[in-house]
Structure 1
Amino acid sequence: MDGAFGSGGADEEGRQRLTALLAEHPLFAATTPAERVALVAGARFHRYGAGELVLDAFRAPTSEVHVVLTGQVDVWSDASRTLEPADERRGPGELFGFSAMLTERSVGPRVIAAERTLVAALPADEVGPVFSSPAGARFLAADAAVRVLPTTRFVSYSLVDDLITSPPLVVDPDEPVGRVARTMSERGLGYAALPVPGGIALVTDAVLRDRVLAAGRSTDTPVGTLVDGPAPSVLLGTSAAEAQILLLEQELDVLAVVDRAGRLRGAVSARDFAVSPTGVGVSLHERLRRAADTEELARRARRIPAALSELLARGLATARVIVLHQAMIDTVVRRAIALVFADRDGVSPEAFSWLALGSNGRREAVLSSDVDSAVSFVDGLAPAEWPAYRQAFAVVTRVLEQAGLRTDDHGAAAFRPAFSRSNAEWRRAARGWLAAPERDQGAIMTSLLVDGRPIHGDEGLPAVTRVFGDLREHPGTLRLLLEESLSRRARMPSVWEVVTRKAGVFDVKEHAVLPVVNLARWAGLAVHSTELGTVDRLRAAAGSPMLPADRADTLVEVFEVLQRIRLRYQLLAQQRGDRPTDRLALDRLSPIDRGLVTEAVRTIAAAQRRMDNVAQYVPPSGWTGPR
């Protein structure tokens, strides 16, 4: 060993290098000069020779964060693979050991000097608060995004390019379908592609079954007559997760992969994702879609939380896990509708559109989220027939409950008359809410319906949102909806609440998530955005007088942090056998999570106060125009 911690040469050089590094490193961008001086003063410095052990956080958690100042270190993030080549090599300016320090658990890594190396060790008391800042949240998110867990063997299958197993089969539109089918069979492919105006169309096994065999058409039929237009596609370089989400959301059998010139490079199907980090989601999704009865559907659906845990463990980002979760919920709902209506006479699944509302409509549902819903009947369905449909909707709701999904009989539910109306009635009601949002719970119903997303049937009800397209022509309504959106305030428990309740419990949905969701919904409506997701609405409204671009960017980060914390703690509760909830015991949160939640609440509250101030001093006509 070249020297011990605190040796004079290491100290002097280390302080100089650490001082320079802290001034430039993005993680410490928000720290003050005095805070950086304190970090340097509290740091320890150590020189290591090549091959020397720097840290083994698998044996015991570290109380320090380590920074490479000179040289390089080899890092192992899996205790079972320390005899294999290192997972990565880190150099000057890079950190390690922060996961063990923040979680206070022996989660690794093991670090060995690759050459003569100078390392600084920053004590937890000094550096811990840095990770609770927005810069800290960005650093942790970026680190998680680029450092794939070494326990997974799927690293080479993270892009859709890697899932393509054979060259594409391209045929002429005039080719007989029988010949195309034979070629598909000989090549072992489940599709054939053909050029059409605007892109590439796909003829799949399912198309052949439905449009040729079942329809009794001749095998001499030109294959081009079987397609309606271009098929959905993704570009080379798209992540496997993004491709899978599109495949699941649109319930595709095959997804085309094209280059930037629009040339077909191949195609992927659900089975191709078995080797990707998202494969567990595809596998379960297929089982849900093919459930033979409601009992099998419920049994399969109760495995969703375990699948989410595995997706997170495989390194998939929380935002992607939540989107995949939503795709699986949508499939459960669609399959439940199909199975229930298949067993009932006198009702048709073609007579209505089913909409997901609330967090499900926004594609932001976690384990504690209710499956809110509404139905829009086709205008030709007689009102006398509606009760029979509502009875069927109630059965669908019971199936969803058996599947482990949460519903609220007294909330937004398709079997309730207030949430099952004809297209014409919904449009008429929406015009009434726009004119007088204070009547008939107009503001609340507006908030519910503008989050609506059709997942079964024709689009119908989204016409309601078009009624609100001229919201800026109704300044009184715009102001009332703003007041309603800001009525739920972001806040942490007061000292009195903590004392009287004997424990600090924080409802992260009530006091953090919903305030930013409501703010984003109003901001999106005010700028005529048709986006549904909170992040997309914030980005659409960014740059307006009510929501400056920098504040919108910060709220996006805050929302993603809150969703990550919600999902992780709810999955932990599920694993313990507890009912997932949004009520977090503050003393059970890790220091980093507690700091992130506190900072998130402050940020949301500041945005709410600003919108209040703008509303007081700027007329509604100036709320959404250019700054």
Structure 2
Amino acid sequence: MKNSIAERVGDFLKGYPPFNMLSNKTLLKIATEVTITYLEKGDTIFKKDDTWHDSFYIVRNGAISLYYSNGDVKDIMNIHDTGDLFGLRPLITKEPYKLTATANEESIVYAVPISVFQSETDNNTKVQKYLITAFASNAFDPYTEEEAGKIFVDYLPNTSQDMVNFQTANYTKSPITCSTESSLKDAAKKMSAHKIGCIVVVDDEKKPVGIITNSDIKNKIATGLFPIETPVTNIMNSPVITAKKGLTIADGQLQMIKRSIGHLCITKDGTDNSKLIGVLTHHDVLVNLGNNPTVILKEIKRAKRTKKLRAARLKGNVLLKSYIEQNIPITHIINVISQINDAVTIRAVELALKKMPTAPPVTFSWLALGSQGRREQLLFTDQDNALVFDDVPEEQYEKTQTYFLKLAKLVTKSLNKIGFEYCEADMMASNPEWCKSLTEWKNQFTNWILSPDEKAVLLSSIFFDYNRVYGDKQLVDDLTNTIFSTLEKTDLFYKFLGRDAVKSPTPLGFFKQFLVEQNGDQKELFNIKSRALMPLIDAARLLILSKQISGVNNTSERFEKLAELEPNNKELHESCSYAFKALSKFKTKQGLLGTNSGKFIDLETLTKEEKLKLRRCFKPIQKIQEVLKIRFDLKNFM
């Protein structure tokens, strides 16, 4: 007789990793032993420091929150929904739980017995690798380190140099080799032709048996110890020191130091008894270490030409790709790339000033706007910037503005050559509208706030996220003080911002399908920026402005600050912060894959798991928009 419940459980499980790596027969055996648990909102599955259970869990319906607790302090680490695994600790390491798991809403979870699962999957390396990776990635999850900063902290490198050390080393693929029957003369000719410093001696099965370097030729041939026609086997270093692909830069460097060598042979299984697939040299290690934030920032500061600035910024893209691949926390990635972007802008301004015929007539500040102003710019995007200069007598205004417009044109031209496109709407400091004196800027913002209209709201979404990159801090502080004192005089501006913030509905339709573009070149594509990221960006901006909080521009940091200020909405604000970071990472990955902005996504290219992860990030959008509608009384203002 068929077990219909087990079959239904199996049908569900096979749609998610690692269960989709199992045969139907194995899956049914596991499904037969699964326990189904219904949970009301707030019900607890396990608590921090509880003895490990004999099962791990997968969410069938609903959502499960995992949070870290320390006394009365509770920090949400993650929110798991349909298809997500949690409670893997007893499967990997028999230790008490580090987090507490509770139902975030009415939920159903499947408890998978560990003993049954292990007996059926012990010989399945794919499953084992997936589970270890899943457990490790939870340990490196943005919430774990970035939100709480208290768990698994020992596993995360703390400095930019450490981050580089823990990246996978880039080694030379398809290395030049010679056979054991070769003469040293033939090997040396190969080395000369390919301009390489070493050659690996391999047997008939392409297994490495020795290595010859320039030093060996100098010390053993040039000194007359061996004739040039000697077999390579007479002077090669053997046995070779091997490693497998995936080793970190730190591991590679450590092995070289420990064994006093300059080369590691990379083989299929990491031993000298398998095929050679690459060589890691001391030079490769130095190159890897060179592509880190510290070195890139030094290159930027020393650059004397735009060409050098572009080369340094392109290294930032390589670093970004590497960080994403290494699953480095997104907050760290954003901080690093933001520093690089700001450094590039600062140097572009400095170089432009050197080209000006005279020094600036008055003090000024260069402002980054939009995503760079929020310190969220990861990929190359178009420029959004402005310039504010100190007040001058009316008769000197035109001349002073002309000076700074000329300076701004040099800067924006340089940024364009580096890779930041000109803004199509001309929202740049080279436009007289965005290059003004302090008083003119104060008047501009005052007008936007006290007499809001559609244009004012549109511009506010760019200009209210400014960040001083270069120049006089006092000018920007004065401008900020004026903005917040003006905001106290009206509530109407908040309503306009609120209406704009809720105009984009939740990214899912009535039947939970993604809302895609309906026409144009992007037809059937999903706009992750306008439908998912912008609603969170707009909501965070509005709420933080209404709290009269300055100096917090980053969207995730704004939500984190709001979580502090509004304990009753802490869970929602934290989920918004997490969703924004996860969406930003997803957009960046898509942009790197398609070498574009990542803004439009072809949903057909996504896996079922990726679509589920996206859907999970959409949950807070509708909730935060409902908060805005109520708080700013928008229902009669739409």
- Tell me if both proteins adopt one fold, taking TM over 0.5 as the criterion: yes
1:509 matched to which residue of 2?
529
Between the aligned residues of both structures, percent identity stands at: 18
Distance 1:481 1:299 in 2: 40
Query: TM-score, normalised to structure 2's length?
Result: 0.57
Task: Evaluate the alpha carbon distance shift between residue 484 and residue 97 of structure 1 in structure 2; reply closer, same or farther with a 3 A threshold.
Answer: closer
Local SS of the residue matching 1:437: coil
2:124 matched to which residue of 1?
55
Distance 1:589 1:45 in 2: 28
Local SS of the residue matching 2:366: strand
1:486 matched to which residue of 2?
502
Q: 2:341 aligns with which of 324, 329, 345?
A: 329
1:528 matched to which residue of 2?
548
Q: Aligned letter for 2:507? A: R
1:436 matched to which residue of 2?
451
Q: Which structure 2 residues correspond to residues 31-430 of structure 1 after superposition, within 5 A?
A: 35-37=108-110, 40=112, 45-47=117-119, 54-57=123-126, 95-96=131-132, 98=134, 141=142, 158-159=157-158, 280-348=292-360, 351-380=363-392, 382-383=396-397, 384-430=399-445
How large is the RMSD of aligned CA atoms in angstroms?
4.5
Task: Evaluate the alpha carbon distance shift between residue 508 and residue 436 of structure 1 in structure 2; reply closer, same or farther with a 3 A threshold.
Answer: same
Deviations 1:524-565 (A, max 9, x none): 000111111112222333377898222111101111111111
2:48 matched to which residue of 1?
none
State the Cα distance separating 1:316 from its structure 2 match. Answer: 2.6
Task: Evaluate the alpha carbon distance shift between residue 278 and residue 509 of structure 1 in structure 2; reply closer, same or farther with a 3 A threshold.
Answer: farther
Local SS of the residue matching 1:332: helix
Task: Evaluate the alpha carbon distance shift between residue 285 and residue 97 of structure 1 in structure 2; reply closer, same or farther with a 3 A threshold.
Answer: closer
Task: Evaluate the alpha carbon distance shift between residue 338 and residue 498 of structure 1 in structure 2; reply closer, same or farther with a 3 A threshold.
Answer: closer
State the Cα distance separating 1:411 from its structure 2 match. Answer: 3.5
State the Cα distance separating 1:336 from its structure 2 match. Answer: 1.1
State the Cα distance separating 1:313 from its structure 2 match. Answer: 3.9
Distance 1:546 1:473 in 2: 27
Local SS of the residue matching 1:487: coil
**Is residue 506–residue 621 contact of structure 2 (8 Å, CA) maintained in 1?**
yes
Deviations 1:8-59 (A, max 9, x none): 999998869666866999455559998435x6599963438xxx964323xx
**Is residue 589–residue 598 contact of structure 2 (8 Å, CA) maintained in 1?**
no
Local SS of the residue matching 1:354: strand
**Is residue 588–residue 598 contact of structure 2 (8 Å, CA) maintained in 1?**
no
**Is residue 376–residue 420 contact of structure 1 (8 Å, CA) maintained in 2?**
yes
Local SS of the residue matching 2:109: helix
Q: Which structure 2 residues correspond to residues 589-604 of structure 1 after superposition, within 5 A?
A: 589-604=606-621
Task: Evaluate the alpha carbon distance shift between residue 548 and residue 393 of structure 1 in structure 2; reply closer, same or farther with a 3 A threshold.
Answer: same
Task: Evaluate the alpha carbon distance shift between residue 7 and residue 519 of structure 1 in structure 2; reply closer, same or farther with a 3 A threshold.
Answer: closer
Q: 2:459 aligns with which of 445, 462, 484?
A: 445
Distance 1:558 1:157 in 2: 22
**Is residue 56–residue 114 contact of structure 2 (8 Å, CA) maintained in 1?**
no
State the Cα distance separating 1:490 from its structure 2 match. Answer: 3.8
Deviations 1:477-502 (A, max 9, x none): 33223223333444247789578789
Deviations 1:204-224 (A, max 9, x none): xxxxxxxxxxxxxxxxxxxxx
Task: Evaluate the alpha carbon distance shift between residue 551 and residue 22 of structure 1 in structure 2; reply closer, same or farther with a 3 A threshold.
Answer: same
State the Cα distance separating 1:350 from its structure 2 match. Answer: 6.1
Q: Aligned letter for 1:533? A: N
State the Cα distance separating 1:349 from its structure 2 match. Answer: 8.5
Deviations 1:599-623 (A, max 9, x none): 3224202321332134339999xxx
Unaligned 5+ runs, structure 1: 67-74, 78-94, 100-108, 110-135, 147-154, 164-273, 621-627
Greater mean alpha carbon deviation, residues 549-558 or residues 447-456: 447-456
Distance 1:601 1:161 in 2: 32
Q: Aligned letter for 1:450? A: F
State the Cα distance separating 1:162 from its structure 2 match. Answer: 10
1:541 and 2:541 aligned: no
Task: Evaluate the alpha carbon distance shift between residue 344 and residue 41 of structure 1 in structure 2; reply closer, same or farther with a 3 A threshold.
Answer: same
Greater mean alpha carbon deviation, residues 487-496 or residues 12-21: 12-21
State the Cα distance separating 1:315 from its structure 2 match. Answer: 4.8
1:583 and 2:600 aligned: yes
Task: Evaluate the alpha carbon distance shift between residue 388 and residue 162 of structure 1 in structure 2; reply closer, same or farther with a 3 A threshold.
Answer: closer
Unaligned 5+ runs, structure 2: 1-24, 37-52, 67-84, 87-101, 148-153, 163-285
Q: 1:562 aligns with which of 564, 580, 583?
A: 583
Deviations 1:561-600 (A, max 9, x none): 11111122212223xxxx3331111111232322222232
